[in-house]
Structure 1
Amino acid sequence: MELLTDFLIAAVNSPWVYVVVFAIVVIDGFFPPVPSESIVVVAAAVGVSTGAPNPIAIVILAAIGAAAGDNIAYWLGRTVGTTRFRWMRHARAVAALDWAARGLSRSAASMLLVARYIPVGRIAVNMTAGATGFSHRRFWPLTVLAGACWAVYSVLIGVLAGHWVKDQPLLGAAIGVVIALVLGLVIDRVSTAVARRREAASEQYAASCEQPVA
């Protein structure tokens, strides 16, 4: 993360900064170790403080890159499935994929929109959508909407942090990253809690239906 951030800050006055942001966002759609949220926030915060890169351009590139990365994950799921590789069979991966499958079966649109804010979650959801044969005609418009909302959200965090400490771009970038990480954690916890409550309610309803009528 530090290496990528240093490179981005060094490239702010070069057109290459847009290529870097776009590429990182695309890759993060199917490779979670790449910190796309942090990079987009840093780019926006530095842009506010120094005048470049342009936050509006970052929004557009991040939105397109996010949708592209999500669709790559979808096609990877459709091509290789979600059980072929050893890492997919680890307990944490299995739990994430099961969570994704349940969410898609209950409320696909909400799941795809919320998962975009959860780095590992979005990959699990998008690959599961592909592996389970979820309609791509329905999938890709939702990823465009999710990518646009996520890009605006990430850039706004960077812009606000950059304005807060406009004379110190590095500090603004750091503050923005911390805010993004905290909000991402909150979204993850809330979505997990909601999913568990829905699952418990469904199990309770199923159990009540199975009880014999007196």
Structure 2
Amino acid sequence: MLRTAALDTQLTDLLAHVGIVLFYLVVWGLVFAGTALFVGAFIPFITGDSLLFASGLIAAAASGVNIWVLAIGTGIAAFAGDQVGFWLGRKYGRPYLDRRGGPRTRKAIARTEWFYTTFGWWSVVIARFVPWGRVFVPVIAGVGRMGYLRFSSANLVGALCWGVGLTVIGYFAASVPGVKTAAYVIAGVVIAASVVAGIRAWRADRASRSQTAAAEPR
């Protein structure tokens, strides 16, 4: 909450100095850079949930800022950022990931690989709400040669839920008490459903491996 309040103040000052169009562009640019340029790996609170929620609050308080222009643009920026990350992973492969940062980043990459392997399609959606996952899942999906249409469909769902959803929630939270809490409850239900799907996929994969091993000649 402190980070959101501080970011809210900074965005208000930004809007006062640069005007509405540049305000849109700065928010969209930060969302895009968070995944496409790996900025989110180093300053996730400026490119993540807090930015979206605070920008929605600003839209509710400032005259002239259209929440739907802001929210849809944020969703497009989120979608485009992940598409770039996916393309980088697909084009440059694992060596590209290995060059990213130091030990802390490599640990995040290792966690993300497990996350992607476990949850597959759902990992792209869930990752939107996880700072390190948001940055690395698209690239790892590209490295893992995930189908383009399959990735894009998951990316679209994630961009709508996260990019558009959190921005609009921030807007309504300014006038409707309890909206933010309800949003996290909904997100929790979605994530829980995804975890169940991931466990089922893991068990199915394990059973398949056991059957393959049993069928091999000794």
- Normalized against structure 2, the TM-score is what? 0.71
Q: For residues 160 and 82 of structure 2, what CA distance do their matches in structure 1 show?
A: 12
Query: What one-letter code is carried by the residue in structure 2 that aligns with 1:159?
Result: Y
Q: CA deviation at 1:205?
A: 6.5
Contact preservation (8 Å) 2:89, 2:139: yes
Answering whether residue 126 of structure 2 is matched by residue 114 of structure 1, we say yes
Answering whether residue 166 of structure 2 is matched by residue 158 of structure 1, we say no
Q: For residues 50 and 37 of structure 1, what CA distance do their matches in structure 2 show?
A: 20
Q: For residues 98 and 165 of structure 2, what CA distance do their matches in structure 1 show?
A: 33
User: What's 1:10 paired with?
Assistant: 13
Answering whether residue 39 of structure 2 is matched by residue 31 of structure 1, we say yes
Q: Secondary structure in 2 aligned to 1:70?
A: helix
| Count of residues in correspondence between the two structures | 199
Answering whether residue 114 of structure 2 is matched by residue 101 of structure 1, we say no
Q: Secondary structure in 1 aligned to 2:146?
A: coil
Distance 1:80 1:5, change over 3 A: farther
Q: Secondary structure in 2 aligned to 1:12?
A: helix
Distance 1:101 1:199, change over 3 A: closer
Q: Secondary structure in 1 aligned to 2:113?
A: helix
Q: CA deviation at 1:211?
A: 6.7
Q: For residues 181 and 122 of structure 1, what CA distance do their matches in structure 2 show?
A: 17
Q: For residues 106 and 52 of structure 2, what CA distance do their matches in structure 1 show?
A: 30
Contact preservation (8 Å) 1:40, 1:58: no
Query: What one-letter code is carried by the residue in structure 2 that aligns with 1:38?
Result: S
| 1:76 paired residue among 88, 94, 98 | 88
Q: Secondary structure in 2 aligned to 1:73?
A: helix
Q: Secondary structure in 2 aligned to 1:163?
A: coil
Q: CA deviation at 1:89?
A: 7.4
Query: What one-letter code is carried by the residue in structure 2 that aligns with 1:27?
Result: A
Answering whether residue 25 of structure 2 is matched by residue 19 of structure 1, we say yes
- Normalized against structure 1, the TM-score is what? 0.72
Distance 1:17 1:179, change over 3 A: farther
Aligned residues: percent identity? 22
Distance 1:140 1:200, change over 3 A: closer
Question: Where does structure 1 lack aligned partners over 5 or more consecutive residues?
Answer: 166-171
User: Quick check: 21-30 or 184-193, which moved more?
Assistant: 184-193
Distance 1:211 1:141, change over 3 A: closer
Contact preservation (8 Å) 1:74, 1:129: yes
Q: Secondary structure in 2 aligned to 1:53?
A: coil
Kindly provide the CA deviation profile for residues 178-197 of structure 1, in whole angstroms up to 9, marking residues without a partner as x.
87678767765764565345
Distance 1:89 1:121, change over 3 A: closer
Q: For residues 6 and 61 of structure 2, what CA distance do their matches in structure 1 show?
A: 20
Q: CA deviation at 1:51?
A: 2.9
Q: For residues 45 and 194 of structure 1, what CA distance do their matches in structure 2 show?
A: 34
User: Quick check: 191-200 or 48-57, which moved more?
Assistant: 191-200
Query: What one-letter code is carried by the residue in structure 2 that aligns with 1:135?
Result: G
Q: CA deviation at 1:22?
A: 0.5
Q: CA RMSD in A?
A: 3.4
Q: CA deviation at 1:123?
A: 2.7
